Structure 1
């Protein structure tokens, strides 16, 4: 009854938002240097309504009809762009960050055609970008980012029960995730230790500004992974007024709160919790094996001036599952047991604009992941696996971009990680996929490792429709006491605005998960690949 009442209230609130008008506001900036663009013309397509960005690149279009809208952004010396799928709600302001790519001005008269796609004119292969609305409307994805990514070429799911991504035939451990420049170990509930997967997506799509996914041949700015990089940008909270949104679906109930914190800051908070366990406790549904999970996601920003912006990110998940032997037997489950998993990442990112041609991003973050798992064999009640472990990581990352000339830019930076792990694990006797018997194993250990990296990357549009990207990345891993050097290269030729060809090469190295290293008495070779 309580859940039904909440559902009816939420439907009433949503219905009450129809009709009326809202507004569209945001910032326009250069896609490479991130510097604000002044005097950009923003036209609401199909109307006479529009706005012009101010000296800080800020704009606002008032009295916009509710529903899906499109904006055309045009600026002298830059490619004209159309921003589609802007959802406007009554009495609310839709926030945008619009990035424009610099264009070469021809001396002869030419026709300017607006594009729905935004490209930086650099030789970046296999890069796909999704907006929040594309993720929300993707059929069958239910707002889960990983499910949308599997629709891309060369990417597959390992199975239907997990969001593990196999990119270009690689292993699921070979993908890494960044949220607002801060590395996140996993973006799923009930994560599999050392891997990228889990059965239920963790990211709240209402928090997202955009998602960039790059499969293989990614540039020197990223490393310690063999297959892919996913970068998720959270949007800023509303700086004009307080807003709240309640959601209720099959995965759980949640609320989003956002609003201003003074003139220069804002907050965006998300709280979610599953409710199936509450139904199980209220009604006899014949089983008690129901997952209980929740998460908190938060972003607080402070913009001291047009050059300095601080962002605080909090990313927390809490997962629990308890299954009894009786339920396992009645439901033909092979194993039963308990799972208690928690993950917390807290970090700060500082973006500094040096001038109109250069900027820096510097972040520091702490991540803690804890596992307490027990699994038994149904029927025999034999202990199959015990996993009581914790992993703590301190991460520092700095990247700097400088546009030396109109057609020449350089990016450089450094990364540093300190990791500590503690394991108290037991693995029961079993058989591998080849039918060979494996003896029981006990893992009790404490380890501390560090990872250091430097990278340098050069982008050049060196001749007419040709562009080149060349980079080097050096890495040191204390566990293997090894130093590696990774070259990255990409060449692009643009036939016309709709057609291009990109040839790329890169060498990549990756650290193995600490649990896998500790289980092997002999030192494993550092994995590497060429793309």
Structure 2
């Protein structure tokens, strides 16, 4: 009833006068970044026609564009047309677009003009991507039910991707460990950008990335271009947008990710320099501070800032920073043992604290109308502190007898980086790019077990360097056939490991509606930093770093794709892939362990004496049927059939813990215009996936040891029941004269289906207990832009 009251309250503000907004931006050459002067930009379907042309700097401005959704067409002789569909226009914020045009292919007899690259919902930002690349707009992270404004949770809807669990946003791509994902932000390889993010993982419960500050970005699931290295499974290539350089704008928002405020605008009316900033604080933390007692309250806050300063006509200076910290405490006495608790263990007290900070300064310069370069200096720091108590109860009661400090850890990883690249357009047929990335890392790693036996697991500090150099070439044999080729080299100073990786892709447009794609990549991945410095205890009591000389894990990744346009806004995409993994660290003696299972527990694995002799394989078939938003509705259906296996030193081929076998996602949404200013939106999502393979618990051995003991001989032979969840999001948007209100309720797991989270031995009752993932959870959302 309260939700309905708020909807009626907003509807009470309704006015029939049509609101308008300014849509402006810049048009540049995709290969050289040179401004496209004199391009025609029109609002499709406007009456009277609303159009303009770009000025000497490639800028355009469209006044009095009706709020709602607008489609723009950009044309210029000698370039492929741009058709930017369904651009969201709100009264509370100007629309500022940065669009790129691709020079059309010319031959002796004709000039064929077709657009491709700039159609936002089909083609990736990175021109060197041939296959397995999916661009996404920031609006999608808010549109899809269950995504909570989180890029990772949004990407879990794509073909070949599955969420690790409801508690975190780690994602599994084509059966690979979530730890094999590469995060990149504005060209910089960054540490895990999530709150409560353990070193060596790629996800967390809450993202530090703010959707309100992102521009169109890319997600890649395999055979990616040569500029991306040190990743096996996937790449998130994210971009921060520029702040409004003409008008001050403000934002306030309340949702799952917290309470936030934001601002952007120019420094002065005479300058085109702009700023963009946002601060966010945990909603649950605020509630706890106001007196609401919540067990396991997550406290977190983050801050993002970016500034862009033009330097003459051909230069651009940018600085950005992303910083966050978080802490949480789980006490065993607070765990509800009757219904199970996915976030705690009644036999353990857990206290953790995390800090992450990233800053980058970059300068981009256009040397000529065909050549531009960019250099970036960046620094980052990740810190993690963990303390765990063993809670001992009086026999068969919930009365605490003793709390003993059992584990502690403190990890610090600092990095200084240099990224330099140059891009040159030789002609409409050929483009070259090359670059170098140097990461200098310093680290301090301390952790130990204190109870029941004292063991020092890691005790080291030092520094090392990872160097990458790459070159890429794009060649268009004809209008219909394109080659993307590249070579990247890696060197890891810690143990003098090196890798040379070729990448190649072919795209053939067979008809106006059909395209075939083929790509291959050799990929290499460093081991998790904590694995290199695990200390193996010798028989005389001393310690040795038996994993320090481990080389790269490597894989051959093959992808064959087919895309077909079934209509103006309907697309079918099929991809088949095969990934052969080798040089995988495993135990030297008979055992099930492989680095390919890292990331299943989100905690460092303590295994020594590893050797690069393991193998693995992933293969599957993916399908995407997508109807882009038009006529006030959209739908997305993605399906994946796959198999993910590995071999340890015992020679047994096992399922990886990420081998769900199948994943099905069905999403749909409908906008219902309510006059000229209001829109009611309904978004729905269904996910069904096979159960995960786990290590069975040995009850007798667990009872004897008084802790969870697994049956290693049957590792990953037992499959959990399948995963099922459906979400519903209902929202209302009201455009007033100079502001936009957005109100929504995200009803997660509306059937309250019980999906297994984990199982563990409970020594107090001598039973194996099961904790379940998130049940039905309504999450409110409100945003005001003005």
TM-score (norm 1): 0.90
CA deviation after TM superposition for structure 1 residue 123, in Å: 5.8
* Gap runs ≥5 in structure 1: 431-437
Change (3 A) 1:111 1:282: closer
Task: List aligned pairs for 1:310-321, cutoff 5 A.
Answer: 310-321=317-328
SS in 1 for 2:245: coil
Structure 2 equivalent of residue 237 of structure 1:
243
Structure 1 equivalent of residue 463 of structure 2:
448
Q: Is the 8 A contact 1:459 1:469 kept in 2?
A: yes
Q: Which residue, 125, 133, 150 being the options, matches 2:156? A: 150
Structure 2 equivalent of residue 372 of structure 1:
385
Change (3 A) 1:482 1:179: same
CA deviation after TM superposition for structure 1 residue 283, in Å: 3.6
Q: Is the 8 A contact 1:226 1:510 kept in 2?
A: yes
Q: Is the 8 A contact 2:199 2:411 kept in 1?
A: no
Q: Is the 8 A contact 2:129 2:225 kept in 1?
A: no
Structure 1 equivalent of residue 297 of structure 2:
290
1:438-480, Cα deviation, whole Å (9 max, x unpaired):
9944321102111112111111112452221221111110112
Structure 1 equivalent of residue 143 of structure 2:
137
1:353 aligns with 2:366: yes
CA deviation after TM superposition for structure 1 residue 268, in Å: 0.4
Change (3 A) 1:121 1:232: closer
Structure 2 equivalent of residue 224 of structure 1:
230
Structure 2 Cα separation of the partners of residues 121 and 369 of structure 1: 32
CA deviation after TM superposition for structure 1 residue 507, in Å: 1.1
Moved more, 374-383 or 346-355: 374-383
1:126 aligns with 2:132: yes
Change (3 A) 1:112 1:445: closer
Bigger Rg over Cα: 2
Q: Is the 8 A contact 1:18 1:89 kept in 2?
A: no
Q: Which residue, 208, 213, 219 being the options, matches 2:214? A: 208
SS in 2 for 1:148: helix
1:388 aligns with 2:416: no
Change (3 A) 1:265 1:325: same
CA deviation after TM superposition for structure 1 residue 169, in Å: 1.4
Structure 2 equivalent of residue 499 of structure 1:
514
Change (3 A) 1:396 1:78: same
CA deviation after TM superposition for structure 1 residue 284, in Å: 4.8
Structure 1 equivalent of residue 682 of structure 2:
none
CA deviation after TM superposition for structure 1 residue 108, in Å: 5.6
Structure 2 Cα separation of the partners of residues 213 and 447 of structure 1: 33
SS in 1 for 2:169: coil
CA deviation after TM superposition for structure 1 residue 19, in Å: 5.1
Q: Is the 8 A contact 2:376 2:418 kept in 1?
A: yes
Structure 2 equivalent of residue 433 of structure 1:
none
CA deviation after TM superposition for structure 1 residue 212, in Å: 0.4
Structure 1 Cα separation of the partners of residues 146 and 181 of structure 2: 23
1:423 aligns with 2:445: yes
Structure 1 Cα separation of the partners of residues 368 and 15 of structure 2: 46
Q: Is the 8 A contact 2:105 2:478 kept in 1?
A: no
CA deviation after TM superposition for structure 1 residue 110, in Å: 7.3
Structure 2 equivalent of residue 163 of structure 1:
169
Q: Is the 8 A contact 1:20 1:91 kept in 2?
A: no
Structure 1 equivalent of residue 355 of structure 2:
342
Structure 1 Cα separation of the partners of residues 502 and 23 of structure 2: 43
Change (3 A) 1:29 1:425: same
Structure 2 Cα separation of the partners of residues 140 and 251 of structure 1: 13
SS in 2 for 1:277: helix
How many residue pairs get aligned? The number is 516
Structure 2 Cα separation of the partners of residues 19 and 247 of structure 1: 25
Change (3 A) 1:121 1:146: closer
SS in 2 for 1:163: strand
Structure 1 equivalent of residue 55 of structure 2:
54
Structure 2 Cα separation of the partners of residues 264 and 324 of structure 1: 52
SS in 2 for 1:209: coil
Structure 1 Cα separation of the partners of residues 114 and 518 of structure 2: 28
Task: List aligned pairs for 1:399-438, cutoff 5 A.
Answer: 399-427=421-449
Q: Is the 8 A contact 2:285 2:300 kept in 1?
A: no
Structure 2 Cα separation of the partners of residues 160 and 20 of structure 1: 40
CA deviation after TM superposition for structure 1 residue 104, in Å: 2.5
SS in 2 for 1:206: helix
Q: Is the 8 A contact 1:25 1:60 kept in 2?
A: yes
Change (3 A) 1:218 1:19: same
Structure 2 equivalent of residue 307 of structure 1:
314
CA deviation after TM superposition for structure 1 residue 301, in Å: 0.5
Q: Is the 8 A contact 1:18 1:90 kept in 2?
A: no
CA deviation after TM superposition for structure 1 residue 428, in Å: 6.0
RMSD: 2.8
Q: Is the 8 A contact 2:106 2:112 kept in 1?
A: no
Q: Is the 8 A contact 2:129 2:224 kept in 1?
A: no
Q: Is the 8 A contact 1:252 1:273 kept in 2?
A: yes
Moved more, 44-53 or 491-500: 491-500
TM-score (norm 2): 0.62
Structure 2 Cα separation of the partners of residues 509 and 226 of structure 1: 6
Q: Which residue, 554, 567, 588 being the options, matches 1:528? A: 554
SS in 1 for 2:533: helix
Structure 1 Cα separation of the partners of residues 483 and 113 of structure 2: 27
1:397-425, Cα deviation, whole Å (9 max, x unpaired):
11111111220111111111110110121
Task: List aligned pairs for 1:6-85, cutoff 5 A.
Answer: 20-47=19-46, 48-85=49-86
Structure 1 Cα separation of the partners of residues 180 and 439 of structure 2: 18
CA deviation after TM superposition for structure 1 residue 315, in Å: 0.5
Change (3 A) 1:288 1:26: same
Change (3 A) 1:269 1:15: farther
1:478 aligns with 2:493: yes
Structure 1 Cα separation of the partners of residues 292 and 91 of structure 2: 42
CA deviation after TM superposition for structure 1 residue 382, in Å: 4.3
Structure 1 equivalent of residue 741 of structure 2:
none
Change (3 A) 1:439 1:76: farther
Change (3 A) 1:36 1:323: same
CA deviation after TM superposition for structure 1 residue 298, in Å: 1.0
SS in 2 for 1:33: coil
Q: Is the 8 A contact 2:232 2:554 kept in 1?
A: yes
Q: Is the 8 A contact 1:122 1:461 kept in 2?
A: no
Change (3 A) 1:77 1:490: same
